[in-house]
Structure 1
């Protein structure tokens, strides 16, 4: 047993103290040293508590754009070659101007026939037309001017002694009932009606394969599912018009006879795989603006215009067009604002929650590389 003095600190002996006590009858014994703790991974210890070889860091955009050197030096023997191969100019290196070979006169002359054939094939898509809104104003203004000329010609044939409401009654007296104004009026009315039909008949089909329950839309219906990867084509316009007319005729007679109204869209059989189809209205800019400028309502207002109320009718036509234009513009702005709000909500959710968790920016601590290279 080793004897120790009471009150002395319990410290290991140093070589000096061992040499000074060489006269002691007992040899100097070296005390055991405490071993260092070693990191050991056991079952009840989380791997996240151990040292990681990866760490988050901010991407060095300035170094990537070669605006500053990397954190360590690059050998001079390979710096120029590597930067030249990567296409990144070094500091103080002027940019090299590229040389573009121009075609000669013989090549341009021989390529002229192929260019002419190409432009003929692309006609009329390659014609520089104005914007749809400008084209609609030009077409609508031309139709208004033609209708104004037609009404002036018809009003001039009315005797001067007729005034007020009698103009409409005596408008057809004293001349033939058929002249150039009749087919022109029919043409103007047909143009307005056809533009309206084409505007409200432009639809695009979408199929909701993952939505088994019906959506709250009058344009949604269930159809038979078809595994066809071709774009969906809507039914022809003639078939849709015929179906709508027959449905209106059948519904009116059933209403008068006290019967149940017919079903517009018949669902597929129960044993058939079905999917929900949504018909989305996709109006064009030209047709929509032309409908605001020259609609069937404007045509009938022109027909009711005569020498005693032409100022009032022109004011009403302008008011109708302005009201439709303002309503269309406001509703389009509302739809765009809703799209912006929905996109911003999704962007904030992705930026604050999704991207920091699924795409963390990391680097490997064992690789000596940097954005400057």
Structure 2
């Protein structure tokens, strides 16, 4: 019946014109550009490689930035539209400015000394060191002038202690300069920064490392104060000296922890300041002691030794700082090469879709022989 009905329908009507239903071009599939997000693609598994060169501004983006339509105004030549409105700025009255003076003064006092236009650290250290050398020179000259019958000048430094009082203003000034250099040295070598290695189980091979109790604290770790470090250092030196005299084992720097306590490795890294480091190279305790040994017979030699000591310390400090910066550059380049060669190719792998189609006739029934 179906074949007969098909033949009747074909013979009943006139043949259809081929132009009645013209062929249409299939609609092309929208291409996914590199600027599109991988989430907007047709597949979930496929991904588009990230354009690192465009992200580093080494290559322009594949799409143009849409230009915003600026409103034309009468202020521009040839423009049309409403003119721009001038902003009205309210000025404070004389009474408001006078009443705000105390609050401004309190604000500036709260910012002191950070609001002062101070020179750089190296310049400040050079100024302070030069001033300390000048004060020590004035102190030595004053001690010479107090020698009785001082007509020769520098030659009388051999007899500068004869006929003069043992206490005058030169003694506290000399002690102040010596203790200032010692305090700067102690402050320089006591500045540290604390790091804790929570993922490291093996002990660190450093004399500044020790084992402490693990505490989950998001605040930055603060090193102990200078006085606390001096007290602990003096006590350790005293304990080590009498233990060494009695032939006992030296004391331990770290305190014993309770048995049921989670432990973590802590490293106290030296973190010197630029001002203290530069001042140490210009006026150290050695310079202060050399000034005390200056006399008419050796003042030229001792001035040369002081200058040579400052230059030597400055060269060593400068060379070591350059070495540290070079090591940081090498470490940064090693991490960059590691990221480019291993990390980035595995974090953003290039994938593609692979589909397999089959038919029922190709299915093999394993239960049939």
Q: CA deviation at 1:134?
A: 0.1
Report if the CA contact (8 A) 2:136-2:177 is conserved: yes
Give me the whole-angstrom Cα distance separating, in 2, the residues matched to 1:108 and 1:207: 56
1:155 aligns with 2:144: yes
2:195 pairs with 1:206: yes
User: 2: CA distance between counterparts of 1:54 and 1:272?
Assistant: 47
Q: Which runs of 5+ in 2 are unaligned?
A: 1-42, 72-78, 354-369
Match of 2:23 in 1: none
Q: For residues 2-39 of structure 1, what are the alpha-carbon distances to aligned partners after superposition, in whole Å with 9 as ceiling and x for unaligned?
A: xxxxxxxxxxxxxxxxxxxxxxxxxxxxxxxxxxxxxx
**Could you tell me how far apart the structure 1 residues matched to 2:329 and 2:179 are?**
39
- Report what 1:240 is aligned to: 229
Contact 1:155 / 1:307 at 8 angstroms: preserved in 2? no
Higher mean Cα deviation, 53-62 or 200-209? 53-62
Contact 1:135–1:286 (CA<8 Å) still a contact in 2? yes
Residue 295, structure 1, aligned to residue 279, structure 2? no
TM-score, normalised relative to structure 1: 0.68
Secondary structure class of the residue paired with 1:83: coil
Question: 2:160: which partner in 1?
Answer: 171
Q: Would the aligned equivalents of 1:298 and 1:317 in 2 still touch at CA under 8 Å? A: yes
Distance change (3 Å), C-alpha of 1:53 and 1:250: closer
Q: What is residue 22 of structure 1 aligned with on the other side?
A: none
Inter-partner Cα distance in structure 1 for 2:88 and 2:292: 63
What is the SS of the residue equivalent to 2:207? coil
Inter-partner Cα distance in structure 2 for 1:344 and 1:100: 53
Out of 106, 128, 132, the position equivalent to 2:92 is 106
Aligned to 2:320: 331
TM-score (norm 2): 0.69
Contact 1:163 1:308 in 2 (8 A): no
Between 1 and 2, higher relative CO (CA 8 Å, sep ≥ 6) is seen in: 1
Match of 1:183 in 2: 172
Inter-partner Cα distance in structure 2 for 1:104 and 1:202: 50
Between the aligned partners of 1:118 and 1:124, the Cα distance in structure 2 is: 12
Please report how far the alpha carbon of residue 238 of structure 1 lies from its aligned counterpart in structure 2 after TM superposition.
1.9
Q: Retained in 2: the 8 A contact 1:55–1:363?
A: no
Deviations 1:276-319 (A, max 9, x none): 11101111111111111111110000000011211111110011
1:259 and 2:243 correspond:
no
Length, aligned pairs only: 289
Please tell me whether residue 340 in structure 1 is matched to residue 329 in structure 2: yes
What is the match of residue 132 of structure 1? 121
1:193 paired to 2:182: yes
Cα distance change, pair 283–358 in 1 and its aligned pair in 2 (3 A)? same
Instruction: Calculate the aligned-residue CA RMSD, in Å.
Output: 3.5
Distance 2:287 2:172 in 1: 17
Change (3 A) 1:273 1:64: same
Aligned CA distance change for structure 1 residues 184 and 276 (closer, same or farther; 3 Å) = same
Cα shift readout 1:338-361 (whole Å, capped 9, x = no counterpart): 000000111112123322332358
The 8 Å contact of residues 289 and 325 in structure 1, kept in 2 or not, is answered as yes
**Could you tell me how far 1:115 is from its partner in structure 2?**
4.5
Q: Secondary structure at the match of 1:215?
A: coil
Q: Secondary structure at the match of 1:105?
A: coil
Label 1:271 to 1:56 Cα distance change in 2 as closer, same or farther (>3 A). Answer: closer
Q: Deviations over 1:50-80 (max 9, x none)?
A: 9x976658657255455xxxxxxxxxxxxxx
Q: Say if 2:210 and 2:265, in contact at 8 Å, map to a contact too.
A: yes
Q: Which runs of 5+ in 1 are unaligned?
A: 1-49, 67-81, 88-93, 365-373
Contact 1:223 1:275 in 2 (8 A): yes
